[in-house]
Structures are given as C-alpha cells and as structure tokens.
Amino acid sequence: MVLGQILDWIYGKAVEFLSEFLSLMDGMGTELFEFVWVEAVVEFFRYFGWALYGVGLIVSVFEAAMEYQAGRPNAIRDMAIGSIKGFFAVSLFSILPVELYKLCIDLQGTLSQGIAGASNTEGISSMARAAMGGLNGYGAIVALFLLILMGYSIFKIFFANLKRGGILLIQIAVGSLYLFSVPRGYTDGFYGWCRQVAGLCLTAFLQTTMLIAGLMVCNSNMLLGCGLMLSSTEVPRIAQQFGLDTSAKANIMSAVYTTQTAVNLTRSLAAAIK
C-alpha cells in the first residue's frame, strides 16, 4: 500500500515535469521571435510585403481601368474591396500569426498543467502488472514494447515542438509573397496560407495536450494510454485532411507560381506601355 502511494506520487511528479518541459519547448518557439536578428528578418519581410502590396495595388488599378472600359462596371468596386483586404492582410501577416501562436501555447500550457495536477492518479498498478506480471509469459516483452512506443511519442512531440517556431518564421516569410495578388482579387493562395498558420497553432495546442492526457490514461490502462499518445503524432495529418496543412511545401510552390505570374504580368505591362 505504501509502496503504491510512493510510486503514484513519483509518477504524478514525472507527468507534471514532462508537461512543464514540453510547454517550455513550445514556449521556445515564441521566444525565437524575441531575438534581434529574427525581428530584423520579420521586419524585412514586412517591408517586402508592403512593397508587393503597393505594386499589386497599382496593377489592380490598371486592370480595373481596362475592365471598366471593356464594359464591366463592377471592376472599380472589386478593386476597392481587394485593396481593403490587401491592406488588412499586409498589416497583420507578420503580427497576428505570432500572437495567435503565443495564445495557443499559453492555453496549452495551462490545460496540460491542469490535467497533470488535477488528476488523482490511481497508482501504477496496471503498469506494474504489465511489467511484472509476465515472468512466465510475454508480459515483460509487451511492457517493453509499450514503453518503446511511449518514448517514441514523447521524442517525436519534443522535436516537433522544437522546430515549430522556425516553421512559423518560414510561413511569415512565404506569406509576404501573396500580398501582390490580394489587392488584385486573387485571394485563394493567401487563404491557404492562413489555413496553414491556423493548422500550425492547432497542432501546437493539441499535440502536447493529447500526449499529457495519454500519460494520465496510462495510469489505469497502459495500452489505451499508448494509443492516445501515438494518436497525438497524427494531429498534423488529420488537420491536413481538413485543409489545415502545417507543411510549407505546397505553400512555397504556390508562392513561386504567384511570383512568376507577377513577373510575366509586369513584362506585359511594360511592353504595352512601350
């Protein structure tokens, strides 16, 4: 009885430590944006975004004028709406993602600590049975396998949290390339970028929370707890199925296509002016 309470206390402290540690790793992603050189990089892309917005606004004026002469009276209204959307986009694309990410990290840390602290663990009876109940069978092998799965989940979430701040910085840099198209009314690429930022923040919130919840479930059922911990590694893939892709591959390719379109359009306008 006393040994069980001691093991229960040790396990609870270990879960609290892991919760705080993973929250700290998530917080390092937000601390990245406090470095001077990172602020300089974000500022550079902010000015670059404003420059692209200005060029796109000029191009949208010419396009609206040509469409109006061609007999489309709504061209001026569409140009005005696009310019307003572009103004809000260029004003917030370097600020709002960082603030949203900080909010998700704070919420995740508070929720994980609440789960770890408010749960009255029932001891590690199931873990002990899994580890020691198979002296004459395969229980020890199963327990070792489950421990390997737990370690795999923890390390995968750890490295995912460690690189998430850098991914957000890349997304901010790529997002500036879409600001040429937004005032012209082509917003699909920018909306896809917004979904990527939302997917990144959602992943940061869910992965660690589900990992801590899995550790608490391991107390009563180690197999189900390992399943819940492994499911935390599938959050990005599931989010991708609903349009919340957290990778940068598709976004960069779309941004490159947008840049090529801008270059070709500029050449066409230059040739028409000559």
Measured distance CA(26)–CA(39) in Å, rounded: 19
* pLDDT on residue 47: 93
- pLDDT over 70 at 258, yes or no: no
Mean per-residue pLDDT, 152-178:
84
Residue type, 35: F
* pLDDT on residue 150: 75
* pLDDT on residue 43: 92
Which is it for the CA torsion 131, 206, 19, 16, positive or negative?
Answer: negative
Closest CA to 207 of 169, 165, 238: 238
- pLDDT over 90 at 45, yes or no: yes
Choice between 92 and 122, residue whose per-residue pLDDT is larger? 92
Choice between 147 and 170, residue whose per-residue pLDDT is larger? 170
Q: What distance, in Å, lies between the first and last C-alpha atoms of the chain?
A: 91
Mean pLDDT of the chain: 75
Both structure tokens of 182: 């937004």
Which is it for the CA torsion 95, 57, 191, 200, positive or negative?
Answer: negative
pTM above 0.75, yes or no: no
Closest CA to 56 of 185, 193, 231, 161: 185
Residue type, 240: Q
* pLDDT on residue 266: 56
Residue type, 29: G
Choice between 237 and 172, residue whose per-residue pLDDT is larger? 172
* pLDDT on residue 137: 47
The length of the chain in residues reads 274
DSSP run (H or E) holding 171: helix 139-175
100 neighbors 197 (Cβ within 8 angstroms): yes
Tens-digit pLDDT profile for residues 128-137: 444 444 434 4
Tens-digit pLDDT profile for residues 195-222: 888 888 888 888 888 877 777 777 677 7
164 neighbors 204 (Cβ within 8 angstroms): yes
User: What dihedral angle (degrees, nearest 10) is formed by the CA atoms of 223, 228, 233, 235?
Assistant: 160
Measured distance CA(113)–CA(209) in Å, rounded: 9
Closest CA to 197 of 229, 173, 179: 173
* pLDDT on residue 6: 66
Closest CA to 217 of 138, 126, 117, 134: 126
Tens-digit pLDDT profile for residues 24-42: 766 677 788 888 888 899 9
Q: Confidence class of residue 59 from pLDDT cuts 50, 70 and 90?
A: confident
Both structure tokens of 15: 């879960």
